A and B are shown apart, each in its own frame.
Chain A
Amino acid sequence: KQEVTQIPAALSVPEGENLVLNCSFTDSAIYNLQWFRQDPGKGLTSLLLIQSSQREQTSGRLNASLDKSSGRSTLYIAASQPGDSATYLCAVSSYSGAGSYQLTFGKGTKLSVIP
């Protein structure tokens, strides 16, 4: 069974700092990995999708890397802003054992960017 772990559970940084969020998964046989952002009481916003054949994806100040063989991904946020404060969730698409792939989520990292 796929398990996804995100470290740290919470992170507080001053505005302007660069930061890294970590995600690890137990089964390296994944199809893709997706990073999401979730604001309190809201749904999930897709940030980046990395296919298993890719090493990284970039969108603006965000860069996500994938090392499938070691079961790790990182989300790098450059020049953090107070508006980046949210919970960041990592999810991997892997075989569910019931004939299809399924997205398994970590518990998230709660980020606070202090002005």
Chain B
Amino acid sequence: DTGVSQNPRHKITKRGQNVTFRCDPISEHNRLYWYRQTLGQGPEFLTYFQNEAQLEKSRLLSDRFSAERPKGSFSTLEIQRTEQGDSAMYLCASSLAKGGDTGELFFGEGSRLTVL
């Protein structure tokens, strides 16, 4: 399968714990995006990478959130000291783009987080 892969698919954690999600993009794609989606809403932008550089972060991305893309390949999204409001689907997407454009985004199946 050469699509975008996300792990784990589901994560249930207690408030205050740290969680980490992993995203493996389509291999030749230079852009990698993280979005968050809550029930009944469209995805909201969190951050994106051009190769290994994190170029933009949303105001939604508080200090408890950190994302990395070492070597411009897979990416991780870590949430520290989780809160119940962090419960959502975390979506990863990748694209092949030039300049400032997003290109055509291809999404993974998402990682659903439930904070108890």
Instruction: Indicate if the CB atoms of B110 and A42 lie closer than 8 Å.
Output: yes
Q: Which of A34, A44, A102, A105 counts the most B-chain CB atoms under 10 A from its CB?
A: A44
Closest to B111 in A: A43
Q: Which of B6, B102, B105, B112 counts the most A-chain CB atoms under 10 A from its CB?
A: B102
Which residues of A lie under 8 Å from residue B56 when comparing CB positions? 96, 98-100, 102
Instruction: Indicate if the CB atoms of A101 and B107 lie closer than 8 Å.
Output: no
Residues 30-56 of A at the B interface (beta carbon under 8 Å): 31-32, 34, 36, 41-46, 49
Contact of B109 among A43, A100, A105 (CB under 8 A): A43
Q: Given the complex of chains A and B, what is the CA–CA distance between A73 and B107 in angstroms?
A: 21
Q: Mark B73-109, 1 if CB is under 8 A from A, else 0.
A: 0000000000000000001010000001110111111
Closest to B40 in A: A107
Instruction: Indicate if the CB atoms of A99 and B104 lie closer than 8 Å.
Output: no
Name the distance in Å between B46's Cβ and chain A's nearest Cβ: 11
Instruction: Indicate if the CB atoms of B102 and A102 lie closer than 8 Å.
Output: yes
- Interface size range of chain A in the complex: 20 to 34
Count of interface residues, chain B, beta-carbon cutoff 8 Å: 25
**Any chain B CB within 8 A of the CB of A89?**
yes
Name the distance in Å between A39's Cβ and chain B's nearest Cβ: 10
Contact of B42 among A89, A98, A100 (CB under 8 A): A89
Q: Given the complex of chains A and B, what is the CA–CA distance between A46 and B95 in angstroms?
A: 12
Contact of B107 among A36, A93, A100, A107 (CB under 8 A): A36
**Any chain B CB within 8 A of the CB of A106?**
yes
Name the distance in Å between A26's Cβ and chain B's nearest Cβ: 15
Instruction: Indicate if the CB atoms of B41 and A107 lie closer than 8 Å.
Output: yes
Q: Given the complex of chains A and B, what is the CA–CA distance between A103 and B56 in angstroms?
A: 12
Which residues of B lie under 8 Å from residue A108 when comparing CB positions? 42
Contact of A101 among B42, B43, B100, B104 (CB under 8 A): B100
Residues of A within 8 A of B (CB): 4, 31-32, 34, 36, 41-46, 49, 89, 91, 93, 95-96, 98-108
Residues of B within 8 A of A (CB): 4, 6, 33, 40-45, 48, 55-56, 91, 93, 100-102, 104-110, 112
